[in-house]
Amino acid sequence: MNGNADSAGGRRCRSLLELIGDTPVLRVTTPLPEEHPGFWAKLEGVSPGGMKARAALSMIRGARRRGELRPGGTIVESTSGTLGIGLGYVGIALGHPVILVADRELDDPSASLLRAHGARIEVVDEPAPVGGWQRARRDRVARILAEHPDAFWPDQYNNPDNAAGYTALGRELLEQFDRLDAVVCSVGTGGHSSGIASVLRSHRPGVRLVGVDSPGSALFGPEPLPRVMRGLGSSIHPDNVAYEEFDEVHWIGPAEAAWACRELAGSVFVTGGWSTGAVALAAAWCSAELDSDRVTAVFPDGPYRYWHTVYDEEFRARNALEAPPCVRPHPYRADEARGWSRTRRVEDPCPERTGDSECPVCGRDGARS
Ligand SMILES: Cc1ncc(COP(=O)(O)O)c(C=O)c1O
């Protein structure tokens, strides 16, 4: 072979880490369910490790920098999937074994793929009486850490490096848009919404940040109830949620989110899971309400982890998710935990952070810590 290959054009990567981020935006005009001027979808699923590879890399680099994780050291984390994929990705790129604590809702294909990526998977069978599945997984993480004193726990709910991992995403949006009227983010740990807000607020002060949560989640409301959707929503109060940054919050139910995912699949091909369907619906609504085609929604991943839920007719029938979508949100009511609602009064619900009384969600010993 001659040396021409070295001067050839095109993108060639020598490290997996070079593939993280720099994701495109796609214009979406699909009626969801009403007509709207068109919003932009930031396609994080295009990056091989998905959106959470950004957070994983930031948390692992931070830990290595501070000496909390030595070269070759083990990473242990509680995750229902997406961060696990991100950690598997970064673990391979930087040479760290990964142990993931999941719950029994982790589907077999995802578990098999994570194992193929080298992760060891520990599955918890029962939710904790206070703090639900997240709390139960966290307790298992604590046990594993006690057995592996050198291991590092990223603690995605409370680690500021999670949010910091998304400042690049915020900068990409600045490059992609001269003007932005609203950014719509699902909220789970609060990482990507916080990281994006920290960049956008200083450069585009007028931009609205719209959070999308799941009915039954404790993030912005009362005590948690069982939830069908994964990814967005939380049964604990993570420190990474930047409450002061949100102009508005929508709660979108699983029937609406699954419907939106399938509408996207049939109209623009690009689709995803619960959080993608939910942000798409909220973004279409914002685009119509603001009469703006400068609304962006972050699509965190692709459809592939949702074969057995969003895209499974039997699952949808079993969980009564076939109802037609509600056309527009109704005002939020704390006692109602199903369909689509919204509020502009966004408050931190955790009394341990806002005052000094004990939080019934976080529990006496603090599910957040
Ligand atoms: C698929 C998916 N969407 C959205 C989110 C929420 O993102 P964040 O944790 O940055 O708030 C998560 C978090 O786990 C996720 O896995």
Nearest to 223 by CA among 79, 351, 345, 136: 351
Q: Given this model, what pLDDT does residue 365 score?
A: 42
Residues within 6 Å of ligand 1 by CB:
82-83, 186-193, 231-232, 273, 275, 300-301
Burial 114-150 (b: 16+ CB within 10 A, else e): beebebebbebeebbebbbbbbbbbebbeebbeeeee
Nearest to 103 by CA among 130, 129, 74, 136: 136
Q: Given this model, what pLDDT does residue 360 score?
A: 80
From 192, 198, 252, the mutation candidate for ligand 1 (largest count of ligand atoms within 8 A of CB) is 192
Q: Whose CA is nearest to atom 5 of ligand 1?
A: 231
What residues of the chain score a pLDDT lower than 70?
A: 1-6, 80, 324-327, 332-338, 363-369
* DSSP structural state of residue 334: T
Cβ neighbourhood burial of 262 (10 Å; 0-12, 13-18, 19+):
middle
| Alpha carbons 280 and 340: distance in angstroms, whole number | 13
Q: Given this model, what pLDDT does residue 1 score?
A: 45
Nearest to 259 by CA among 243, 274, 240, 241: 274
Alpha helices (runs of H) in the chain, residue ranges in sequence order: 4-7, 52-65, 82-94, 108-116, 132-147, 160-164, 167-176, 191-203, 254-267, 274-290, 313-318, 351-354
Cα of 188 vs centre of ligand 1, distance in Å, is 5
Q: Given this model, what pLDDT does residue 3 score?
A: 47
Q: Given this model, what pLDDT does residue 336 score?
A: 60
* Cβ-based neighbour number of residue 101 at 10 Å: 26
Structure tokens at 259: 């419907």
From 58, 82, 236, the mutation candidate for ligand 1 (largest count of ligand atoms within 8 A of CB) is 82
Domains of the chain: 17-47+160-343 (3.40.50.1100), 51-152 (3.40.50.1100)
DSSP 125-138: -S-BTTTHHHHHHH
| Residue matched to tokens 């796609």 | 26
Predicted TM-score (pTM) of the model is: 0.93
Alpha helices (runs of H) in 224-270, residue ranges in sequence order: 254-267
Structure tokens at 241: 């949620």
- Does the CA dihedral 305-262-254-159 come out positive or negative? positive
Q: Given this model, what pLDDT does residue 124 score?
A: 94
